[in-house]
Amino acid sequence: MDFSDLIIKALGLQDVVIEKFEQVTDELKLIVFVRQSRETCRCHHCDSPILFVHEWKERRIKGPPLGAFLFVEIILLQLRGICHICNDRVRSSSIPFVHPFFQNMTLALCELAGRLMEEMPCGAVARWLNLNSKTLWDLDQYRMKSMKPLMKLPEKIDLSKMSADEVHFRTMPKIDSITKPEIKFVTNLVCFKEGKVLANSPGRDARSLATCLKTLSPEQRASIKTFAVDMHEPFLLAIRKLCPNAQICVDRFHLAERVNAAFDELRKAEFKKARDSEDLFQQKMLAPHRRFVLVEKEKKLKKEDVKMLDRLKEINKNILNGMILVEHFHRMLDKTDTIEFKKSLMLWYRLVREAGITAFRKLASLIRKYRNYIEAYINSKLTTAKSEGLNNKIKVLRRSGYGYTNQESYLNKILQRCGYLNSRFINTNTWFWRLPKNLA
């Protein structure tokens, strides 16, 4: 293989001969003049050999970067000749290295841009490759739809620990001043060991999670041992129905969120009382911007804050009881043994009854309802941390795309960035030179 053949291969070209080069060094641009090989030209309509030359038609095609040349333009002389199979009509010869749906780009450039868009926004790739951003968006959609039937889970994937959570998709505009705006969600099924989204579905009900779980085989669903979710009843129904061997764990993060919400409800009630009685000190301490100071551990507080908190505890018994309940609740979740957890939970129930705080009584009834699932968390310590981390990544993806309105595109993009719908897990190496027959 000589140097010209290597350049032809590097640019993703086939059955052509390089005639000359032109370099525009200041613009980092390379212009390559090539001509189709006469012997290999075939009719684009019937794929039969073209016998007679009618003319050589000039076409300008964008190619992939080559070394220091970021912009490569290929000026191709395409054969047009008479095809006897097509009733002696003049036909253009086929060009196998040009994308069938993006005629001004080579397959190599399309695949390179597609792989870059797996990690970067379309606009950023368009600026880097000097291409149209709308064209690249269409290319990204085409590529994801083409790759989706090829997506498979790794053979030795460990599905023993799973989690599921919803992420915000978009808020629909209000129809009128009376109705509330509709909020749409997407449910993601996450493998804890791999930290990848296996499947997703629109909505956040039982059907949404069931749709995700049904992408797994019955054997794979039976291999799930522990499943971490929040206290969303539709998710629990879907898991109990489709995952017979799964032990459901209520996530600690959502439990902590509930206990902090109960304390914040108490703080609001006490702040209102202080405002009615014109107690300036309590108004200052119970103000909304200090709500996190009240539930923070003393080790992380300043000495001034600790002194003021001690004074507040002496004045307001309800706040003191609420702080004790919050601290005891977190210590209870730190237990590693189920027996010790049950003892600590019984003590917490008694403290709630003695405190007589309405918000914590409501929380206590909720804890009783999901007690078995909380005990499963104590045994396994499985959380939805991987799901929450992926949710943050998805939110960044949505912001970098300036929001999504196409639901199918959003679902595919999540699988591309956070799952297995990308070239790292689907072999598309041959797409640099030739598309599969079902796509071409």
In sequence order, what DSSP letters do the residues of 329-380 get, joined into one string? HHHHHT--SHHHHHHHHHHHHHHHHHHT-HHHHHHHHHHHHTHHHHHHHHHH
Mark whether 227 and 309 lie in a shared domain.
Answer: no
Both tokens of residue 57? 């038609």
Same domain, 306 and 357: yes
Q: Which residues, listed in sequence order, are joined to residue 98 by a DSSP beta bridge?
A: 106
278 lies in the same domain as 347: yes
Per-residue confidence (pLDDT) for residue 116, from 0 to 100: 95
Which pLDDT score is estimated for 298?
A: 63
Domain that holds residue 49: 3-98
- Same domain? For 266 and 374 the reply is yes
In a domain, residue 424? The reply is: no
Nearest-angstrom CA–CA distance, 116 and 120: 6
Same domain membership, residue 257 and residue 217: no
Give the distance from CA 349 to its chain's centroid.
Answer: 40
Answer yes or no: do 67 and 183 share one domain. Answer: no
Check whether residue 237 and residue 268 sit in a common domain: no
Domain boundary among 334, 349, 380: 380
My answer on whether 227 and 289 are in the same domain is no
The pLDDT assigned to 37 comes to 87
Amino acid sitting at position 407: Q
In-domain check, residue 394: no
Does residue 356 belong to any structural domain of this protein? yes
Choosing from 251, 270, 294, the residue where a domain stops is 251
124: in domain? no
pLDDT value, residue 7: 85
Residues 307, 231, single domain; the answer is no
- Provide the pLDDT for residue 4: 80
Find where tokens 């109990």 sit: 240
Could you report the per-residue pLDDT of 281-316, keeping only the tens digit for each?
Answer: 888 888 888 877 777 776 667 787 778 888 888 888
pLDDT attached to residue 75: 94
Q: Does residue 106 fall inside a structural domain?
A: no
* Residue 217 and residue 312 share a domain: no
Residues of the chain with pLDDT under 50: none
* Distant-in-sequence, close-in-space partners of 359: CB < 8 Å, separation ≥ 6: 262, 263, 265, 266
DSSP string, 166-184: EEEEEEPPPSSSSSPPPEE
Query: Number of structural domains, the chain?
Result: 3
Judge whether 181 lies within some domain: yes
CA-angle at 285, arms to 280 and 287, nearest 5° = 90
CB within 8 A of 32, min separation 6: which ones? 7, 11, 18, 21, 63, 72, 73, 74, 75
Query: pLDDT by residue (tens digit) across 61-113?
Result: 999 999 899 999 999 998 888 887 877 778 888 888 999 899 899 999 999 99
Last residue of a domain, one of 333, 348, 380: 380
Q: What is the CATH number of the domain that holds 220?
A: 3.30.420.10
pLDDT confidence of residue 299 = 64
| Predicted TM-score of the model (pTM) | 0.87
Whether 265 and 373 map to the same domain: the answer is: yes
